[in-house]
Amino acid sequence: MTEPAQGFDPRAVIEGRPPGRTRLGLIAGIVIAVVCGIIALGIDALQSVSAGDSVAPFFIALPLALLPVPLLVAGVLFVDRLEPEPRANLAFAFLWGAGIAALFAALINTAGLEYITQPALGAGSGQYVSATLGAPVVEETLKGAVLAGLVWRRRQEIDGPTDGVIYAAMVGLGFAMIENVGYYVNALVTPVDGGARLLGYTFVLRGVLSPLAHPIFTSMTGLGAAYAASHRRALWALPLGWLGAMLLHGVWNALSIFGLAGLAVAYVIMFCVLAGIIVVLVLDRRRLVRLITGRLPAYEPTGLVTAEDIAMLSSLRARRLARNWARATGGLPAAAAMGDYQLAATELALLHDKAGRGMITPGRFRERQSDLLGLMNVARAEFLRRRPRPPLAPWAPASGFAHTQVFPAALPPAPGPLR
């Protein structure tokens, strides 16, 4: 069996980065985002105190804003299973929305409202114009900045529309969480008859009926970023997606002036957009399955991939059964190795897609191909180490796994487009 080299880092291979390297930029970004989020929450706490000489409204608003977040994040991660993004990157995207984007949006929107729109148009009209024209530009620009940064600095992390939507959703969820704290505080401190009812209305509207509003808005930017990252000379798609996000956000806010009728129209629009995003996600998953079934058979001569493996890799249920099988036969190390094998094989299929699109040089293709096959070899050796004989893999009862052969054999060349 092949033993991993000392210091071998499967996650680094899968993510395409040097092993063991500390990503200081990512760490610094997370720290800055957390600090900005704390400042934004501090502003909400000060608003609570200044309105009623008590911090109680803030401590009521905060858990209400946090309440739906775990379920929503779990939903995003559920979608991101076939080719999951690095968790550190997703955490940074969420914190960017909750920290940097939320803080600066609040400061810029407040300044624009107090010094531009309200002095020029009056309180009511100024607030409406600011919400309809100003806030969408400011908020979608700040949220979309992290997607632009990914296209610029970490383009290899975005392999298709699903990745763009996943990152956008995480940014939007973080932003909405902090924004909701302010809305709930405002509902509690606003001197109207039945403040509890006002808070309940606000919570139902924002926390129950429209928790996906910001993720849906920013998903337009995410789709543009995904197209720009996966196609040559397609940077125009990023600003086009950004414009779509601003337009959708602006229409949502603009319809508020029409009361319940406007709200109903806004929800119809958002439902249609969400349905469109779901269709895109389904089609993208099918695309990835086609890549797996179309590209990986060429690697069967290496002994690292069998027909049964390809069938397993093409189904989320079969992947889960494979990890359970590995855990039952070899414990947690074998299960982790099976997960590494699945991710490396998926990345290998995507590597061929990038080569077919001309997004990677032949030299880089060979280097990445070798790294991924090396990881598959090490991982396969690990999860077969304690395999009972005869083996019966649950997804392929007729034959199970093939034995690992000598590596490497003749490898497929960099491909053209998949037909």
> pLDDT tens digits for 203-212?
888 988 889 9
Q: Output the pLDDT for position 271.
A: 95
Distances 135 to 37, 128, 158 between C-alpha atoms, Å = 19, 10, 27
Query: Rounded to an integer, what distance in angstroms lies between the CA atom of residue 309 and that of residue 399?
Result: 11
Q: Which SS3 state, helix, strand or coil, does residue 177 take?
A: helix
Q: Categorize the per-residue pLDDT at 12 as very low, low, confident or very high, splitting at 50, 70 and 90.
A: confident
R_g (Cα) of the chain, nearest Å:
25
> Where exactly are the structural domains of the chain?
23-291, 303-419
| DSSP letter, residue 141 | H
Q: Which positions ≥6 away from 58 have C-beta within 8 Å?
A: 41, 44, 45, 47, 48, 49, 181, 185
Predicted confidence (pLDDT) per residue in 353-372, tens digit: 999 888 889 999 999 999 99
Lowest average pLDDT, out of 23-37, 103-117, 282-296, 375-389, goes to 375-389
- pLDDT by residue (tens digit) across 50-70? 876 688 889 999 999 999 999
Which has more confidence, 411 or 364? 364
| Mean pLDDT of the 327-351 span | 94
pLDDT of residue 192: 66
What pTM value is reported for the model? 0.90
DSSP, collapsed to helix, strand or coil, labels residue 387 as coil
Q: 128: Cβ–Cβ under 8 A, 6 or more apart, which residues?
A: 257
Phi, psi of 417 (to 5 degrees): -60, 145
Alpha-carbon span 137 to 142, nearest angstrom: 9
